[in-house]
Structure 1
Amino acid sequence: MPETVAIMVVLIVLITAVSGVMRAKYRAQHGIVEDEDGNTRHLVNPDADRMVQEIGQLKDRIAVLERIATDKGNRLEQEIEALRDKTHG
């Protein structure tokens, strides 16, 4: 009988520890932090909007470079000039 109680206590501690790790992993993945008072809040990256805009610009430039790489003729010079105008303008 005492062995059964010991096994149950160990299982309860193990289940509690595993659930704590799973909860911490979920919170970390979703940017949820807890302050010293126990209040939870979501982390917000202040540069997120700027980075999204920059990624959009980079995708546009890649699309132009892909067209340049696959096109032949006079368009090459025109596209290079257009890229120069975008970066300096």
Structure 2
Amino acid sequence: MNPLLIPILGISCGLLAIFGGVFVKPWFKLKEQRMAVEAEMIAEKAAQYASKQAVLEERVAVLERIITDSGYEVAHAIESLREPPVSRIEKEEV
């Protein structure tokens, strides 16, 4: 074996440890912080969607109540809206 190989390997290991401490460790910390920020944003969006869903569910419940409480009256009102409106001139002629 070459006698220079041992010091070269020792220096290489030291440089590798320094490189890892200076560059790799902060890079991992940065990635972790980015993931934490993204997780917060996703949690906030999920909360917004949940609140919107609650509002929509409440509105659907109100619509269901309206339809079931006065079904005949609503159907009659809808049918009256389907008829073409009578203009003023037609009313005056009759």
- TM-score, structure 1 as length reference: 0.38
Q: Which has the higher strand share?
A: 1
- Higher relative CO (Cα under 8 Å, sequence separation at least 6) belongs to 1
- Highest CA radius of gyration, 1 or 2? 2
